[in-house]
Amino acid sequence: MKKLLTMIVAGMIALTAAPVWSDDADELLSNNGGVGSLRGLVEISTTNKSEPLKRVPRDVQPIDRNYVQQPPLVPHTTRGYQVNLNANKCLSCHSFKNAGEMGATKISVTHYETRDGTTLSDVSPRRYFCLQCHVTQADAKPLVENTFLPVDSLR
Amino acid sequence: MLNLLKRLWVIMKSPSSAAMGFILILGFTGGIIFWGGFNMGMEATNSEEFCAGCHAPIVKEIRETIHYSNRSGVRAICSDCHVPHNWTDKIIRKVQASKELVAFAMGTIGTQEKFEARRGYLANREWHRMKENDSAECRNCHEFDFMDFSEQGARSVKQHSTALASGEKTCVDCHKGIAHQLPNMEGIEGW
């Protein structure tokens, strides 16, 4: 009797649990609410094949900006450039002090402002980590479709 | 005793060809063993493992840099940049380096913290040394005369064809931290 009871209980658990492990790709497709992810329609446990790394050209013409406030892209390699507590390689060329001698573009004055608009005597901490906003240029296709158009004055 | 010396003197004065050969061979092999051993010592103390014994943090950092891994697979190891190739300079640097042994015994860079604290001082010494010898070690591999400006990036050409070509600046003036994490650069020229 006891044995039968355990079997029934076990059977019921198995039945209710079944849909959880019979979840397959079909369900993944129909159940995503129309949202696709950049990693494609694959189970979270599957490891995607990684894309080849983009090659960064050593020195090229900068790509034009699309809107006025856009952080310009970096038109050269930045491999091994140290930006940390001790040193900032970017500023060794782009700071107001060095830009002239190195023939580099000066950082804009907005980089001296704190978020409440006070102008400091040196680069504001929130602008110190250059590569947070400026990325290196590479021949990369947009990951998602983008229909943004610059205003007429920039075209 | 006196007799023995006299006998030896006679042999030396009129050596049979066999004895002469013996002496020559002795001198020759002795020389080889001494010279070889000396140079082997010089070689062994040039290897990265040797430096790693005391400079473990540095050896770890270098893996990310261009002189450890690059498209052509040519490497620069510690001694390429830090030990002069010219023989007399090499001996001088090695003797200087013996004082690193004293510093090691004192533990000046024995822990990560102590190393960080002393790093600025050590880096400055190294920059100074390379400035004095016009970056001779860099030039063992990178010769200005053979730089092809049409192959270099625009920024490289701009600096190399002016400040470098005129001798106004040397490699380490512009290429600091090419192989290592930098110390605090506040107040360093050009930073």
Q: What is the pLDDT of residues A101-113, one digit of tens each?
A: 999 999 999 999 9
Facing B182 at nearest CB: one of A76, A82, A102: A82
**pLDDT level of residue B152 (50, 70, 90 thresholds):** very high
Looking at per-residue pLDDT, the higher value among B151 and A15 belongs to: B151
Instruction: State which residues form the domain around A118.
Output: 54-138
pTM here? Answer: 0.84
- Mean pLDDT (whole number) for B109-114: 90
Same domain membership, residue B97 and residue B185: yes
Q: Do B65 and A76 touch (CB under 8 A)?
A: no
- ipTM of the shown complex: 0.74
Find chain B residues with C-beta within 8 A of A84's C-beta: 181
Q: Does residue A81 share a domain with residue A8? A: no
- Residues A66 and A119 reside in one and the same domain: yes
Is residue A131 included in any domain, yes or no?
Answer: yes
Give the Cα separation of B155 and A79 in Å (integer).
Answer: 14
Within a domain: residue A12?
A: yes
Do both B115 and B178 map to the same domain?
yes
- Alpha carbon distance B24, B16 (integer Å): 13
Co-location of A132 and A59 in the same domain:
yes
Q: What is the mean pLDDT of chain B?
A: 83
Q: List, for chain A, all residue ranges whose pLDDT scores fall below the cut of 70.
A: 1-32
Residues of B in CB contact (< 8 Å) with A are 64-66, 153-156, 158-159, 177-178, 181-185, 190-191
pLDDT of residue A6: 61
**Residues A88, A29 within the same domain:** no
Please report the pLDDT score of residue A132 as a whole number.
Answer: 95
Together in a domain, B140 and B174: yes
Q: Which residues in chain A have their CB less than 8 angstroms from residue B178's CB?
A: 80
Closest CA to A80 of B52, B67, B119: B67
From the CA of B125, how many Å to the nearest CA of chain A?
18
B75/B162 same-domain check = yes
CA dihedral (A24, A25, A31, A32) positive or negative: positive
> Where does the pLDDT of residue B4 fall: very low under 50, low under 70, confident under 90, or very high at 90 and above?
low
Q: For chain B, what's the residue count?
A: 191
B33-91 pLDDT, tens per residue?
555 555 566 666 778 889 988 999 999 899 989 999 999 999 999 999 998 766 677 77
- Nearest Cα to Cα of residue A58 among A74, A76, A73: A76
Same domain, residue pair B135 and B91: yes
| A69 and A125 both lie in a single domain | yes
The tally of domains found in chain B comes to: 2
| Between A12 and B147, residue with greater pLDDT | B147
Whether the pLDDT of residue B94 is over 50: the answer is yes
Q: For residue B182, is pLDDT > 80?
A: yes
Confidence (pLDDT) at B173:
95
Q: What is the CATH number of the domain that holds A103?
A: 1.10.1130.10
Q: Do B182 and A92 touch (CB under 8 A)?
A: no
- What is the total count of domains within chain A? 2
Query: What is the extent of the structural domain holding B180?
Result: 55-191
Our CA-based measurement puts residue B180 at a distance from the nearest CA of chain A, in whole angstroms, of 10
pLDDT of residue A19: 44
